[in-house]
Amino acid sequence: TEEKSLHFIEQIVEENLANGFPQDNLRFRFPPEPNGYLHIGHAKSICLQFGLGLRYNAPVNLRFDDTNPAKEEQEYVDAIKEDLQWLGFQWAEERYASDYFQQLYDWAVLMIKKGKAYIDSQSSEEMAIQKGTPTQPGVDGPYRDRSIDENLALFEGMKNGDFPEGSHVLRAKIDMKSTNMLMRDPLMYRILHRHHHRTGDDWKIYPMYDFAHGESDYIEQVSHSICTLEFVMHKELYNWFLDQIYDDNKVRPHQYEFARLNLNYTVMSKRKLLQLVQENIVNGWDDPRMPTISGLRRRGYTANSIRKFCENIGVAKRENVIDFSLLEFCLREDLNKNAPRVMAVLDPVKVVITNYPLDKEESLDAENNQEDESAGFRKVPFARELYIEREDFLEVAPAKFFRLSIGNEVRLKNAYIIKGESVVKDADGNITEIHVTYDTDSLSGSGSDASKRKVAGTLHWVSIAHAVPVEVRVYDRLFIDEAPDSHKEKNFLDFMNTNSLKIVTGYVEPSLKTVAVDDKFQFQRLGYFNVDKDSTADKLVFNKTVGLKDAWEE
Ligand code: ATP
Ligand code: MG
Ligand code: MG
C-alpha cells in the first residue's frame, strides 16, 4: 500500500524523535468538554489524536475537560465514550480534569505565595474596562497589590463557600500591558455554587479552562497537546502556567494547533446543536439529520466511512470549508461494497401481468451484492400483481424515457421482460393500475435467447401479495443555507429547512421481515437505507441514509 505523506504534526513528532525525544515519552489526549454530544468536527480531532497514538504506539488519554459544572452532565460523558468506541478507538486512560481539582488548588495557592496570583474583588464590568483593548494597554486594578496573606485568606474563604458568586476571582498576576490580551491578568478561578456531576458539592470554586487545561496535560504527561487554531493566542498563557509548576525531570507538554473541520450546510457548535435539541427542532442529539456522531450513526453512516473521510480531508494549518458531499462520497464507497441489495418501492403503483396465471407464484433468485461474491443469492417471490414506482411509468414516453410506457418493454430486475398494454384510471384520471404482458421466455439468468434481449431499462418491483409495508424516513438537509451561522444580521435558526423530514409508507420484499436495528441495505435504484431504532416487530422503520450517485447505473 502506498504511504501517504506525513501531515505537519506527524512531521513535528518525527523531528522531535530525530532530535532525541524518547518515543516512550510520547503521549496524547482527546479532551472533550462533556457539555454535548460529539459531532463530525470532533471526529477529525479524534482521528488525528488516536491516529498519532496508533502510528507511534503511544497512549492516548480520554480526558473530560469538566471544569464548568453549569453545562456538564453524565449523559454527555456516557455518549462521548460510546461514540469514541463506535468510531473504533480505545483510549489508554479515562481521566477527568475534575480529578485534579485538589492539585490545581494547591498549585494556585503556591502561585499566590510566590506573588503570581491575587484575588480581585471588583465586578466583571470594572475588570473588563481595566483590561483595555487590542490597541490600548490595560491598567492595574486596585486589588493587584493585595498582600499574600490577605490573598491566601480570601482564596480559602472562596473555597469554603464563604462568599457569593461573582464577589471575588483569582487572577494570574502577569502583565496588564501585554500585547496579548489573554495575558492581562487572566482569571484562574471563579466562585460557582454549583453541583458538579462528579465532585458533587465539594467545590465552591472552579478553575478556568486556560489554567486547568495545560496543568492537566502536565499531570498526565501529555507530550503533544493538540488543539484547534482558535487557541493560538492561548499558547503564551498555556506556557506561562506551565512555567509556574514545571519540574525539569518531567515531560513538558507543547501545544500545537490545527485547522478545525468546517462543513457546509450544517452547524457544529455544541451550543447551537443543543439549541436545536432543546427547542425540539430535531428529535434529540441522535436525530438522523444532526451532524453528531450519534446522529450520523443512526442515519446509517459507518464508522469506517467517517474515518475514511477524516483521512481524506487531512490535517492542515489553514481553515477551509469541506463540502458535505465528500462525507457522502466516503459513505457510498463503503456501503456500495458492503450493503446487500434488496427491492423496495416507496411510491407504489399497481401492475397487473394479464398473461401471468392467476394463482401462479414463483420464487426467483436474486444476487445480494454484485460487488461481493461471497454475499450469495436470496429468493424473491414473483406473482401476477406487483408494485413498481409511480415515476417509472408514463403512458406516453418522451424521448430517452427508459422506463415503462404503453407499447414499450422493460425488464423487471431478476425476473421477466414486460410490455405496457393499457391503464385503469379513477374518476379523477389518476392511474390505479397498469396492465402489462410478459415474455414468458425472458426470465433473467435462464440462458434463453429471450433472457438476453436488450430492452430500454430495468425496474425494481415487489410482489403485492408478499410485500411488507414499512415506514421510510426520507431526509433532506437541515439547513437551506451553505453557512447558516455566518450571517451577521440573521440567526442560524432563520435558515432551517422546514421540509427536512418526509415520512412515507414503502413496500419491501419479504426477505426484510427479519432485519435488526441498524442493518443496512441498498434499495435498488433508490439509495442506501438502514433500520431505525424505532423499529418494532409489527412496524419496521427505515432511514434513507444517502442516495445513489447514479440511480441508473444498472
Ligand atoms: P464546540 O465549539 O462544538 O463546543 P469545542 O471545541 O468547545 O467545540 P470540545 O469538547 O472542547 O468542544 O472539543 C474537544 C476537542 O475536539 C478539542 O480538542 C477541539 O479542538 C476538538 N474539536 C472541536 N470541534 C472541532 C472541529 N470542528 N474540528 C476539529 N476539531 C474539533
Ligand atoms: Mg473546548
Ligand atoms: Mg465549546
- Partner residues linked to 342 by β-bridges: 523
pLDDT tens digits, one per residue of 370-384: 999 899 999 999 999
The predicted model gives 409-420 an average pLDDT of: 98
33 catalytic, yes or no?
A: yes
pLDDT band with cut points at 50, 70 and 90 for residue 549: confident
Structural domain includes residue 381: yes
pLDDT band with cut points at 50, 70 and 90 for residue 551: very low
Residue ranges in 161-302 assigned as alpha helix (H): 209-220, 235-245, 270-278, 293-299
Averaged pLDDT score across all residues of the chain: 96
Atom of ligand 1 nearest to the CA of 31: 14
What's the CA gap between 349 and 413, in Å, rounded?
A: 17
> DSSP labels for 40-75?
HHHHHHHHHHHHHHHHTT--EEEEE----TTT--HH
Q: Closest by alpha carbon to 385, among 415, 350, 361, 416?
A: 350
Q: What is the pTM of this model?
A: 0.95
- Name, in order, each residue with C-beta under 8 angstroms of 305's C-beta and a sequence gap of 6 or more: 327, 330, 331, 333, 334, 335
Is residue 64 domain-shared with residue 194, that is, in the same domain?
yes
Helix (H, G, I), strand (E, B) or coil at 322: strand
Q: Closest by alpha carbon to 473, among 292, 283, 333?
A: 283
- Protein residue with least CA distance to atom 4, ligand 1: 270
How is residue 284 annotated by DSSP? S
Q: Closest by alpha carbon to 475, among 495, 492, 500, 493?
A: 500
Residue among 28, 38, 45 whose CB has most ligand 1 atoms within 8 A, to mutate: 45
Structural domain includes residue 509: no
Is residue 241 domain-shared with residue 346, that is, in the same domain?
no
pLDDT tens digits, one per residue of 83-93: 999 999 999 99
Q: Do 472 and 454 contact (CB within 8 A), yes or no?
A: no
Phi, psi (deg, nearest 5) at residue 170: -95, 130
pLDDT tens digits, one per residue of 434-492: 999 999 999 999 999 999 999 989 999 999 999 999 999 999 999 999 999 999 999 99
In the predicted structure, residue 203 carries a pLDDT above the cut 80: yes
Structural domain includes residue 327: no
How is residue 514 annotated by DSSP? G
Percentage, residues of the chain above pLDDT 70: 99
Is 35 within any annotated ligand binding site? yes
Q: Do 290 and 267 contact (CB within 8 A), yes or no?
A: no
pLDDT tens digits, one per residue of 248-303: 899 999 999 999 999 999 999 999 999 999 999 999 999 999 999 999 999 999 99
Residue among 30, 38, 42 whose CB has most ligand 1 atoms within 8 A, to mutate: 42
In the predicted structure, residue 223 carries a pLDDT above the cut 50: yes
- Protein residue with least CA distance to atom 23, ligand 1: 42
Structural domain includes residue 48: yes
Cα of 260 vs centre of ligand 1, distance in Å, is 8
Structural domain includes residue 423: yes
Query: How many CB atoms are closer than 10 A to CB 33?
Result: 17
What's the CA gap between 79 and 186, in Å, rounded?
A: 32
Q: What is the ipTM of this complex?
A: 0.96
- pLDDT at residue 171, rounded to an integer: 98
pLDDT tens digits, one per residue of 72-84: 999 999 999 999 9
Q: Show the cell assigned to 8.
A: 505537519
Q: Do 213 and 197 contact (CB within 8 A), yes or no?
A: no
The predicted model gives 1-22 an average pLDDT of: 90
- For 238, the domain range is 8-262
- pLDDT at residue 552, rounded to an integer: 40
Domain boundary among 421, 443, 465: 465
- Name, in order, each residue with C-beta under 8 angstroms of 278's C-beta and a sequence gap of 6 or more: none
Q: What's the CATH code of the domain at 69? A: 3.40.50.620
- Partner residues linked to 474 by β-bridges: 502
- What are the distances in angstroms from CA 117 to CA 51, 179, 187, 211, 369? 38, 20, 9, 12, 67
Domain boundary among 225, 247, 262: 262
- pLDDT at residue 4, rounded to an integer: 73
Q: What's the CATH code of the domain at 420? A: 2.40.240.10
Is residue 69 domain-shared with residue 202, that is, in the same domain?
yes
- pLDDT at residue 2, rounded to an integer: 52
What's the CA gap between 29 and 315, in Å, rounded?
A: 17
Exposure string of 133-146, with b = 16+ CB inside 10 Å and e = fewer, is eeeeebeebebeeb
* SS3 annotation, 342-411: ECEECCEEEEEECCCCCCCCEEEEEECCCCCHHHCEEEEEECCEEEEEHHHECCCCCCCCCCECECCEEE
The predicted model gives 9-34 an average pLDDT of: 98
Structural domain includes residue 358: yes
In the predicted structure, residue 3 carries a pLDDT above the cut 80: no
Domains in the chain, number: 2
Is residue 348 domain-shared with residue 255, that is, in the same domain?
no
In the predicted structure, residue 209 carries a pLDDT above the cut 80: yes
Domain boundary among 262, 296, 330: 262
Structural domain includes residue 151: yes
The predicted model gives 354-379 an average pLDDT of: 95
260 catalytic, yes or no?
A: yes
